[in-house]
Each structure stands twice: as C-alpha cells, then as structure tokens.
Amino acid sequence: MLNIKIKKEALASHKKELDEYNSIVEEVQNSCEELYLSRKDSISAIERIELIINSIANTPKEFTRKMSRIGFECDKFHETEKYATEAYGSMLKTGVGTAAGVAGGATFASLAPTGAIWIATTFGTASTGTAISALSGAAATNAALAWLGGGAIAAGGGGMAAGNALLLLAGPIGWGIAAATMTTSAVVISKKNKKAAEEIFEEVEKIIVAGMKLKNTGISISNLNEKTRLMIKKIIKQLSENKRMKNSNYTMLTTEEQVSLGALVNNTLSLAEMLNKTVEEPKADK
C-alpha cells in the first residue's frame, strides 16, 4: 500500500516520544513527592524551634511578630493539605474522574490522597487563579474541588472536564495532553496512510512541546526542594546550638546568645515562607 512506510514511521515516532513523555511525568511526580516530604520535615523542625523560642521569657516584640508569621505560614500549608484531602474524598464520592473514560479514570484511581496533597502544595492554585490556601470556608473547599476536578464544582459538577484535569495527574499544570494525543486513535489509524501519518506527526509535536514544558517544571521543583533541604539543614544545626537556652530569660543571655537566637528566628521564618512557595504552571501555546 502507498505510503505505508511513512505511516509506520509516524507510529514508531509517536510511541518513542510518548514513552519519553511518560518518563518525564514519572520524574516530576517523584520530584513533587520529594518536595512534599521535605516540607513535612520543615514543619517538624519548625515545631521544635517554636517550643524553644516560646519557652524563653522576655523575648523582643520582633520575635513575637516573626513567630506569628511563622505560625501563619504553617497554618496555611496545613489548610492546603486539608482542602486537597477533602477534594479527593468528594471526587471519589461523586465519581469524578471515571466519566471521562478509561485513561482518566485509571489515572485518578491510582492517585492516592497524598498524591492530591502534593499536587496542591506544589502548584496550589484554584481554577480562579487564587491560591487555595488564601481562601477560606466554603469558597476554599469549592475552589479546591473545582481545581482538582478541572471545572465548576459550584455548578453542581456540570461541565467538569474531569478527565482532562486528571489525565496523567494533569492538575493545574497541564501534564496531560488531550486523550487523542496520548494514544493515536483508531480513526487516525484507519485513515489513508499519508493523511494518518500527517496527523500522527502533529500529535508527536504536541507531545514533544508538552514534555519540554514539563521538564522545565521538574527542574523548578527540584531547585525548590534543594533550597528547602539546605535551609532545613541550616536551622537544624542552629537548633542544636540554641536548645540549651530553652526556658531561659532573654534579658539574662549574652549578646552572642541573643544574636544566635535572632538568626534562628530569621532563618525559621525564611523556611516557613518556603512552605507555601508554588511552582508556576507552564504557559499554554497560543
């Protein structure tokens, strides 16, 4: 048959690039999980530092202000975890993710609650563009549900693009490519060889572009995780140096000890602020 060779080449290219894309998806998922675990370690370290600082009498008002900000950042992080967990549970109850077909449903079925959380804490934006953790009450819950579902949950779930949002854990960053792009359709394959090859190669181009965007996202996530780990290491060392001052009186400490405590508080605040730093969604092609 005419042009059968080019059609076979197109299908082989499609499989090669799709395998590469899926490999990148897995790498980014692992990076997201590692970042989430680092942030849990951050929370643990911050809680230990709070116990020491809050036990010291007569600390400066500046300490109180900064510790309050640290607490705010920690609460904000926990709120995002909570919203993601609620969104996951609500979507399971309503069956969102299975209506879009086998691909979307299978992906959602494999997404554990922890997966939903690290998506939320890494990318953390509602469908409105507002950070989920910046909202409150019903608005926050609805936004989280809408974000994870890919549509307007407030409208009763009607019009939700659940499969598109959840395909390959697409979430807010467009990890998923349209279902027709992910697997060459029977319609395309059945077309005449030359036409089919052209359409398959078009899909290959989309996969390559999506893979490049996702790879850049993965680099950003890894960089953020590295900065987080370095800061954790730094404050753990400072924690060890300052723990002897627990239950002391700040006014009775030496100047060197006071400076050391101040540095600990400042670095703890920096770490707390990193808890809610999100990775920007790659821009879609125009």
Q: What's the whole-model pTM score?
A: 0.75
Q: What is the pLDDT of residues 165-183, one digit of tens each?
A: 333 333 333 444 433 344 5
Tokens of 255: 């100047």
Range of the domain at 196: 4-274
**Element spanning 166, H or E:** helix 162-166
The total number of structural domains that make up the chain = 1
Nearest to 49 by CA among 227, 256, 231, 236: 236
Q: What is the pLDDT of residues 106-144, one digit of tens each?
A: 344 455 667 778 877 887 655 445 555 555 555 555 554
Task: Indicate if the alpha-carbon torsion angle 39, 45, 50, 53 is positive or negative.
Answer: negative
Distance CA 83, CA 95 (A): 18
Does the residue 283 lie in any domain? no
- Domain assignment present for residue 285? The answer is no
User: Using an 8 Å Cβ cutoff, are 148 and 171 in contact?
Assistant: yes
Question: What is the CB-side half-sphere exposure of residue 61 using CA atoms within 13 A?
Answer: 0
Specify if 280 maps to a domain: no
Arithmetic mean of pLDDT over the chain: 74
CB atoms within 10 A of CB 270: 14
Asked if the structure places residue 40 within a domain, the reply is yes
CA distance 152 to 145: 8
Does the residue 281 lie in any domain?
no
Residue 279 lies in a domain: no
